[in-house]
Amino acid sequence: MLEQIVKPLLSWYDGHARVLPWREDTSPYRVWVSEIMLQQTRVEAVKPYFERFVGALPDVQALAACPEDDLLKLWEGLGYYNRVRNMQKAARTVVETYGGEFPADYGKLLALPGIGHYTAGAIGSIAFGIPMPAVDGNVLRVLSRFQASYEDILKQSVKNKFEQELQKVIPAERAGNFNQALIEIGAIVCVPNGRAKCGECPLAFGCRAKELGIVDELPRKKAKKERRVEERTVLVLREGSRVAIRKRPGKGLLAGLYELPNLEGALSDGEVLARLKDWGLSPLRILPLAPAKHIFSHVEWRMTGYAVSLEETEHMDREGLFFIDAKETEEKYPIPAAFAAYARYMDIMLGQEKYEEGKRDV
């Protein structure tokens, strides 16, 4: 049934593929970096991250040797920091086991840390021409609609079924273009939220969902488990021109990144002052800051914030805090975007904000 999509899809791609930095040079390293980033965020947001990452770490050897703080800094704001740690593990395997060259073999790619079926298919097909599918959310949407399938696309069995069907028809001589064409249709034509541009779609001729008038009902995703909500109180502790940060533990959420000191619960200013005194600090003034929210995959932080001026004494190393110049933080210490709302009070910008600087209307 999918045989019929191959030709129209490839002709459409020849005329409509966007020019993107990772499409100009399709070395396995660049394809890999771009595909992992594209699992995190939109194409437009990925572009500057991609350029900066491959500029700083141009090959797998450089990535394998990069100090962790520098690596996390390059990823700052993209989220899912374990992905970039896994990338470094995979880079080390490529260097140590494969002499620095990615293996042109789907099974061996799949065996690398952090590389699942989608990424192995994308690197395999785009960089090496291996005829294996790369099924991401875009592709699941396109195929669910084309076949008017109400099956839950979050189920592994449904994904496997689509992969098997594609594998039968994927053209050996243009495997990478075929996969990217399907992704591209999903990204710019067969889009979600009632904005599908069926009039421009090269697959409209055989699309069952279009025929039945159910495009906007598909794909079907069963509701995920609700996120846990956590209250936290975030502190911008200033001591003269310096602010306090601390390193998070090596395991768990945002492992190994730096953060503004924060406490469990939505604390009052009085409670915060008491805690600071327990830590041996000398607060002079406390000001409430606007509340903020950050959504992770499994938890949502609702944050209460305070700016606190401290007396200038030797506060170093108390409660794991260290006081540093704000600019130094911006340049050196990776701080997750969850703290962006409060980092602004230190006059620093984090991750994606930096790239959007020119666009902000402040």
Give the residues lining the site for ligand ADE (CB under 6 A): 20, 35, 38, 43, 136, 180, 183, 187
Q: How far is the CB of 180 from ligand ADE (least distance, A)?
A: 5
Residue nearest to ligand ADE (CB): 38
Cβ 142 to ligand ADE shortest distance, Å: 12
**Token digits of residue 195:** 């904005």
Pick the catalytic residue from 24, 35, 76, 353: 35
By C-beta, is 13 or 258 nearer to ligand ADE?
13
Residue 106: partners with Cβ closer than 8 Å, 6 or more residues away: 120, 121, 124, 130, 132
Question: Is residue 35 flagged as an active site residue?
Answer: yes
Task: Collapse the DSSP code of 15 into the 3-class scheme (helix H, G, I; strand E, B; otherwise coil) and give the result.
Answer: helix
Grouping H, G, I as helix, E, B as strand and the rest as coil, residue 300 is: strand
User: Which residues, listed in sequence order, are joined to residue 323 by a DSSP beta bridge?
Assistant: 244
Which of 259, 321, 258, 267 shows the shortest CA–CA distance to 291? 267
Q: How far apart, in whole angstroms, are the C-alpha atoms of residue 8 and residue 185?
A: 12
60 or 187: CB nearest ligand ADE: 187
Contact yes or no for 335/343 (Cβ under 8 A): yes
The answer to whether residues 264 and 346 touch, using CB atoms and an 8 Å cutoff, is: no
Rank residues 35 and 239 by Cβ distance to ligand ADE and give the closer one. Answer: 35
Rounded least distance, CB 20 to ligand ADE, Å:
6
Q: Which is nearer to ligand ADE, 162 or 306 (CB)?
A: 162
Min dist. Cβ of residue 152 to ligand ADE (A): 21
Q: Which is nearer to ligand ADE, 200 or 317 (CB)?
A: 200
Q: Check residue 204 and report its DSSP letter.
A: G
Please check whether residue 141 is in contact with residue 214, taking contact to mean a CB–CB distance below 8 angstroms: no
Distance in Å, CB of 14 to ligand ADE, minimum: 15
Say what angle helices 156-169 and 137-146 make with each other, to 10 degrees: 80
Q: Catalytic residues, which ones?
A: 35
